[in-house]
Amino acid sequence: MAVSPRKAPKAAPAKSKGSTMQPLLWVLLLSIVMFAFPESIILLFIGLLPTLVAFIIDKSSKKYSTFCVGAMNITGVFPSLLELWAGQNTIGHAIQIITNVFDLIVMYAAASFGWLLYIAIPPVVNALLAVVAQHRITQLRSRQRELIGEWGEDITSRPRNTEMLAKGRQNAPPSAPPADEPELDIINATPPAPS
């Protein structure tokens, strides 16, 4: 009896240099941006705090609340950012914008509108899908009644044995309706709305 040689387990692939350097490159890029544009970073940090909060509290893998709040929050911060870039573009001007209550209200109200969208849109879409599904069920029931009227009640019974069904198909002429098809019961219960 021959003994087959054992294969040595393959070693895990080593990390490439690019994957180990990537975090370092991000830190380097962020520090360059912070030193080149400190006034913009200050304004963006204070203005985008609601987005940071949404990111921290959102435990879902897709981060839908972060995207929704973040998109609206950026639209609220953008006018102040344009004012900073078009104006003096100094740290003092950035602090002046941040301490202006009206600018903060615009930034945070836009973020709150993002929260409102995140909370309000899913139930509306859910209700719309339920209406569409109910309409489709009504159409299928109508078509089912037409088929029962055309073919008779025999099409609503289940085949007792699949062999009998196969024999019935072999003996039937090609133009004849199917002998016993699976059950097409009329459903009287309303299905639950999709969630």
Q: Give the CA distances from residue 69 to residues 74, 105, 114, 157, in Å, rounded to whole numbers and listed in that order.
A: 9, 15, 4, 54
Q: Provide the number of structural domains found in the chain.
A: 1
Q: Report yes or no on whether pTM surpasses 0.85.
A: no
Does residue 30 lie within any of the structural domains?
A: no
The predicted-structure confidence for 5-59, as pLDDT tens digits, reads as follows 666 666 555 556 667 888 999 899 988 988 889 999 999 999 999 999 999 999 9
Tokens matching residue 146:
């037409």
Q: Is 186's pLDDT higher than 60?
A: no
Q: Which residues contact 68 (CB under 8 A, 6 or more apart)?
A: 54, 114, 115, 117, 118
Which of 28-42, 97-111, 153-167 has the lowest average pLDDT?
153-167
Greater confidence (78 vs 26) lies with 78
Helices (H), 48-100: 49-57, 64-86, 91-99
- How confident is residue 154, by pLDDT bands cut at 50, 70 and 90? confident
Task: Give, as one character, the DSSP assignment of residue 135.
Answer: H
Contacts of 188 (CB under 8 A, 6+ apart): none
Q: Which structural domain range is residue 95 located in? A: 35-171
Assess if residue 84 is contained within a domain.
Answer: yes
Residue 126: inside a domain, yes or no? Answer: yes
